[in-house]
Amino acid sequence: MNLSNTFSRLFGRFANYEFFSPFQKFINTTYVKIFKIDLSEFAPASSYPSLNALFTRSLVAKRPVNANPIVLISPCDSLITQLGKSSDKNALQIKGMEYSIEELLGQKLDRELYYINFYLSPKDYHRYHAPCDLEIYEVRYFGGELLPVNLPSLRKNQSLFVRNERVVVVAKTPNNKWVYFVAVGALNVGSMVMHFEPKIKTNAGLHNTNYVYLTPISMKKGQELGMFQMGSTIVLFMEQMIADVNMNDQVKFAQDIGTYA
Protein backbone atom coordinates (compact mmCIF):
# COMPACT_ATOMS: atom_id res chain seq x y z
CA MET A 1 0.00 0.00 0.00
CA ASN A 2 1.29 3.48 -0.89
CA LEU A 3 2.62 5.44 2.12
CA SER A 4 0.22 8.33 1.51
CA ASN A 5 -2.73 5.91 1.52
CA THR A 6 -1.56 4.32 4.77
CA PHE A 7 -1.05 7.72 6.42
CA SER A 8 -4.46 8.90 5.22
CA ARG A 9 -6.10 5.76 6.62
CA LEU A 10 -4.43 6.28 10.01
CA PHE A 11 -5.37 9.94 10.02
CA GLY A 12 -8.94 8.93 9.23
CA ARG A 13 -9.00 6.69 12.30
CA PHE A 14 -7.71 9.54 14.47
CA ALA A 15 -10.25 11.97 13.02
CA ASN A 16 -13.08 9.50 13.69
CA TYR A 17 -12.06 8.84 17.29
CA GLU A 18 -14.22 10.51 19.93
CA PHE A 19 -11.95 11.75 22.72
CA PHE A 20 -13.29 12.74 26.13
CA SER A 21 -15.25 15.95 25.85
CA PRO A 22 -12.79 18.62 27.14
CA PHE A 23 -9.95 17.28 24.96
CA GLN A 24 -12.18 16.93 21.91
CA LYS A 25 -13.37 20.51 22.31
CA PHE A 26 -9.72 21.61 22.49
CA ILE A 27 -8.91 19.68 19.27
CA ASN A 28 -11.90 21.16 17.46
CA THR A 29 -11.36 24.76 18.52
CA THR A 30 -7.65 24.53 17.72
CA TYR A 31 -8.41 23.23 14.23
CA VAL A 32 -10.93 26.03 13.66
CA LYS A 33 -8.37 28.66 14.74
CA ILE A 34 -5.51 27.22 12.66
CA PHE A 35 -7.53 27.10 9.46
CA LYS A 36 -9.64 30.21 10.22
CA ILE A 37 -12.92 28.38 9.64
CA ASP A 38 -16.08 30.47 9.48
CA LEU A 39 -18.76 28.60 11.45
CA SER A 40 -21.48 31.22 11.08
CA GLU A 41 -23.63 28.78 9.05
CA PHE A 42 -22.80 25.77 11.21
CA ALA A 43 -23.08 24.46 14.76
CA PRO A 44 -20.33 25.63 17.18
CA ALA A 45 -17.01 23.76 17.20
CA SER A 46 -17.62 22.40 20.68
CA SER A 47 -20.72 20.49 19.56
CA TYR A 48 -18.91 17.98 17.30
CA PRO A 49 -17.98 14.64 18.96
CA SER A 50 -14.97 14.04 16.67
CA LEU A 51 -12.71 15.91 14.30
CA ASN A 52 -14.32 14.09 11.38
CA ALA A 53 -17.75 15.27 12.53
CA LEU A 54 -16.38 18.81 12.31
CA PHE A 55 -14.86 18.13 8.87
CA THR A 56 -18.14 16.79 7.54
CA ARG A 57 -20.36 19.37 9.24
CA SER A 58 -23.71 20.08 7.63
CA LEU A 59 -25.27 23.48 7.12
CA VAL A 60 -27.64 24.62 9.84
CA ALA A 61 -29.92 26.33 7.31
CA LYS A 62 -30.42 25.56 3.63
CA ARG A 63 -28.90 27.89 1.07
CA PRO A 64 -31.35 29.01 -1.64
CA VAL A 65 -30.92 27.29 -5.03
CA ASN A 66 -31.71 29.03 -8.32
CA ALA A 67 -34.95 27.50 -9.68
CA ASN A 68 -34.04 28.17 -13.32
CA PRO A 69 -33.45 24.63 -14.66
CA ILE A 70 -30.57 25.58 -17.00
CA VAL A 71 -28.57 27.43 -14.34
CA LEU A 72 -25.60 25.53 -12.90
CA ILE A 73 -24.71 25.94 -9.25
CA SER A 74 -21.42 25.31 -7.52
CA PRO A 75 -21.47 21.79 -6.06
CA CYS A 76 -19.29 22.80 -3.10
CA ASP A 77 -17.44 25.55 -1.25
CA SER A 78 -14.12 25.74 -3.08
CA LEU A 79 -11.49 27.58 -5.11
CA ILE A 80 -11.73 27.42 -8.91
CA THR A 81 -8.25 26.25 -9.90
CA GLN A 82 -8.86 25.63 -13.62
CA LEU A 83 -11.66 25.68 -16.19
CA GLY A 84 -12.10 25.57 -19.94
CA LYS A 85 -12.76 23.25 -22.86
CA SER A 86 -10.74 20.10 -23.41
CA SER A 87 -8.32 19.77 -26.31
CA ASP A 88 -7.55 16.38 -27.88
CA LYS A 89 -9.49 14.80 -24.97
CA ASN A 90 -7.07 16.42 -22.49
CA ALA A 91 -7.79 18.86 -19.65
CA LEU A 92 -5.57 21.04 -17.50
CA GLN A 93 -4.94 20.19 -13.85
CA ILE A 94 -3.01 23.46 -13.75
CA LYS A 95 -1.53 25.77 -16.40
CA GLY A 96 0.97 23.86 -18.54
CA MET A 97 0.09 20.40 -17.18
CA GLU A 98 -2.44 18.28 -19.07
CA TYR A 99 -3.95 14.90 -18.30
CA SER A 100 -6.12 12.46 -20.25
CA ILE A 101 -9.83 12.83 -19.55
CA GLU A 102 -10.41 9.34 -20.96
CA GLU A 103 -7.99 7.89 -18.40
CA LEU A 104 -9.61 9.86 -15.61
CA LEU A 105 -13.16 8.80 -16.50
CA GLY A 106 -12.29 5.26 -17.57
CA GLN A 107 -13.97 5.49 -20.99
CA LYS A 108 -13.45 6.59 -24.58
CA LEU A 109 -14.98 9.91 -25.60
CA ASP A 110 -16.39 10.93 -28.98
CA ARG A 111 -16.31 14.69 -28.27
CA GLU A 112 -14.57 17.39 -26.28
CA LEU A 113 -15.92 18.40 -22.86
CA TYR A 114 -16.09 21.56 -20.81
CA TYR A 115 -14.68 21.32 -17.29
CA ILE A 116 -14.24 23.15 -13.98
CA ASN A 117 -11.86 22.13 -11.17
CA PHE A 118 -13.08 22.85 -7.60
CA TYR A 119 -10.43 22.63 -4.86
CA LEU A 120 -11.72 22.19 -1.29
CA SER A 121 -9.24 23.34 1.33
CA PRO A 122 -9.23 22.07 4.95
CA LYS A 123 -11.30 25.11 6.00
CA ASP A 124 -14.11 24.48 3.52
CA TYR A 125 -17.52 22.86 3.88
CA HIS A 126 -16.80 19.27 2.80
CA ARG A 127 -20.14 18.11 1.44
CA TYR A 128 -20.86 18.15 -2.29
CA HIS A 129 -24.13 18.53 -4.15
CA ALA A 130 -25.71 18.09 -7.59
CA PRO A 131 -24.85 21.12 -9.77
CA CYS A 132 -28.08 20.63 -11.77
CA ASP A 133 -30.88 18.07 -12.01
CA LEU A 134 -29.23 14.72 -12.75
CA GLU A 135 -30.14 11.23 -13.86
CA ILE A 136 -27.30 8.97 -12.62
CA TYR A 137 -26.59 5.96 -14.86
CA GLU A 138 -23.35 4.69 -13.40
CA VAL A 139 -20.75 5.27 -10.70
CA ARG A 140 -17.14 4.11 -11.07
CA TYR A 141 -14.54 3.66 -8.36
CA PHE A 142 -10.83 3.78 -9.22
CA GLY A 143 -8.25 2.91 -6.59
CA GLY A 144 -5.03 4.89 -6.60
CA GLU A 145 -2.65 7.09 -4.68
CA LEU A 146 -3.66 9.80 -2.22
CA LEU A 147 -1.24 12.56 -3.12
CA PRO A 148 -2.04 16.12 -1.97
CA VAL A 149 -4.14 18.12 -4.43
CA ASN A 150 -3.08 21.61 -3.32
CA LEU A 151 -1.44 24.01 -5.80
CA PRO A 152 2.20 23.03 -5.06
CA SER A 153 1.33 19.35 -5.61
CA LEU A 154 -0.61 20.14 -8.81
CA ARG A 155 2.50 21.90 -10.16
CA LYS A 156 4.78 19.01 -9.16
CA ASN A 157 2.88 15.80 -10.01
CA GLN A 158 1.99 14.99 -13.61
CA SER A 159 -1.51 13.52 -14.18
CA LEU A 160 -2.26 13.87 -10.47
CA PHE A 161 -6.02 13.43 -10.78
CA VAL A 162 -5.54 10.25 -12.83
CA ARG A 163 -3.02 8.85 -10.32
CA ASN A 164 -5.19 9.53 -7.28
CA GLU A 165 -8.11 7.50 -5.98
CA ARG A 166 -11.39 8.81 -7.38
CA VAL A 167 -15.11 8.23 -7.82
CA VAL A 168 -16.74 9.08 -11.15
CA VAL A 169 -20.49 9.74 -11.29
CA VAL A 170 -21.85 9.31 -14.84
CA ALA A 171 -25.12 11.15 -15.39
CA LYS A 172 -27.27 13.08 -17.83
CA THR A 173 -28.83 16.52 -17.62
CA PRO A 174 -32.56 17.10 -18.29
CA ASN A 175 -31.70 17.98 -21.91
CA ASN A 176 -30.07 14.56 -22.33
CA LYS A 177 -26.43 15.68 -22.28
CA TRP A 178 -23.70 13.76 -20.47
CA VAL A 179 -22.18 15.10 -17.28
CA TYR A 180 -19.36 13.56 -15.25
CA PHE A 181 -18.94 14.46 -11.59
CA VAL A 182 -15.49 13.32 -10.37
CA ALA A 183 -14.58 13.29 -6.68
CA VAL A 184 -10.78 13.02 -6.37
CA GLY A 185 -9.20 11.69 -3.19
CA ALA A 186 -6.18 13.32 -1.54
CA LEU A 187 -3.76 13.03 1.37
CA ASN A 188 -5.62 12.77 4.70
CA VAL A 189 -8.97 12.03 3.05
CA GLY A 190 -10.17 9.19 5.25
CA SER A 191 -12.87 8.37 2.73
CA MET A 192 -15.18 9.71 0.06
CA VAL A 193 -18.89 9.02 0.54
CA MET A 194 -21.62 8.80 -2.09
CA HIS A 195 -24.97 8.72 -0.31
CA PHE A 196 -26.80 7.05 -3.20
CA GLU A 197 -24.30 4.15 -3.38
CA PRO A 198 -23.23 2.86 0.07
CA LYS A 199 -21.28 -0.05 -1.46
CA ILE A 200 -18.48 2.34 -2.44
CA LYS A 201 -15.67 2.08 0.12
CA THR A 202 -12.71 4.34 -0.58
CA ASN A 203 -9.13 4.05 0.71
CA ALA A 204 -9.84 0.43 1.64
CA GLY A 205 -7.44 -1.33 -0.71
CA LEU A 206 -10.23 -2.40 -3.06
CA HIS A 207 -10.00 -3.06 -6.80
CA ASN A 208 -11.60 -0.80 -9.37
CA THR A 209 -15.33 -1.40 -9.57
CA ASN A 210 -18.44 0.12 -11.08
CA TYR A 211 -22.19 0.09 -10.48
CA VAL A 212 -24.63 0.48 -13.36
CA TYR A 213 -28.28 1.47 -12.78
CA LEU A 214 -30.85 0.12 -15.22
CA THR A 215 -33.26 2.61 -13.68
CA PRO A 216 -31.32 5.88 -13.36
CA ILE A 217 -31.13 7.54 -9.94
CA SER A 218 -32.73 10.98 -9.99
CA MET A 219 -31.04 13.82 -8.10
CA LYS A 220 -32.41 17.34 -7.85
CA LYS A 221 -30.18 20.38 -8.20
CA GLY A 222 -28.67 21.17 -4.82
CA GLN A 223 -29.37 17.69 -3.41
CA GLU A 224 -26.46 16.33 -1.40
CA LEU A 225 -24.47 13.69 -3.32
CA GLY A 226 -21.91 12.90 -0.63
CA MET A 227 -18.92 14.23 1.26
CA PHE A 228 -15.16 14.21 1.66
CA GLN A 229 -13.77 13.32 5.06
CA MET A 230 -11.19 16.13 4.64
CA GLY A 231 -10.53 18.55 1.78
CA SER A 232 -10.02 17.46 -1.82
CA THR A 233 -11.10 18.21 -5.41
CA ILE A 234 -14.20 17.94 -7.58
CA VAL A 235 -13.85 18.03 -11.37
CA LEU A 236 -17.07 18.65 -13.29
CA PHE A 237 -17.19 17.71 -16.99
CA MET A 238 -20.15 18.55 -19.23
CA GLU A 239 -21.06 18.33 -22.91
CA GLN A 240 -22.53 21.81 -22.69
CA MET A 241 -21.48 24.57 -20.31
CA ILE A 242 -21.16 28.34 -20.37
CA ALA A 243 -19.21 29.22 -17.25
CA ASP A 244 -19.79 32.47 -15.40
CA VAL A 245 -16.81 32.09 -13.07
CA ASN A 246 -13.07 32.56 -13.48
CA MET A 247 -9.89 30.91 -12.29
CA ASN A 248 -9.01 31.77 -8.68
CA ASP A 249 -12.62 32.63 -7.84
CA GLN A 250 -13.71 31.46 -4.40
CA VAL A 251 -17.19 29.99 -4.74
CA LYS A 252 -19.83 28.70 -2.36
CA PHE A 253 -22.19 25.78 -2.72
CA ALA A 254 -25.48 26.93 -4.36
CA GLN A 255 -23.82 29.95 -6.00
CA ASP A 256 -24.70 30.37 -9.70
CA ILE A 257 -21.68 29.46 -11.84
CA GLY A 258 -23.10 29.36 -15.38
CA THR A 259 -25.60 27.59 -17.63
CA TYR A 260 -25.64 24.29 -19.54
CA ALA A 261 -28.07 24.94 -22.40
Write the DSSP assignment of the chain as a string of letters. Answer: --HHHHHHHHHHHHHH----HHHHHHHHHHHHHHHT---TTS--GGG-SSHHHHHTPPPSSPPP----TTEEE-SSSEEEEEEEE-BTTEEEEETTEEEEHHHHHTS--SS--EEEEEEPPTTS--EEE-SS-EEEEEEEEE--B----SHHHHHHSTTHHHHB-EEEEEEE-TTS-EEEEEEEP-TT---EEETT-TT---SS-PPPEEEEEEEEEEE-TT-EEEEESS--EEEEEESS-EE---TT-EE-TT-EEEE--
* Catalytic-labelled residue, pool 77, 86, 124, 133: 77
Picking from 57, 60, 62, the residue whose alpha carbon sits closest to that of residue 37 is 57
* Catalytic-labelled residue, pool 4, 86, 191, 232: 232
Q: Indicate if 129 belongs to the active site.
A: yes
* Catalytic-labelled residue, pool 126, 129, 133, 191: 129
Residue 110, exposed/middle/buried by CB under 10 A (0-12, 13-18, 19+)? Answer: exposed
Q: What angle do CA 189, 190, 193 make, to 5 degrees?
A: 90
Q: Indicate if 232 belongs to the active site.
A: yes
Residues labelled as active-site residues: 77, 129, 232
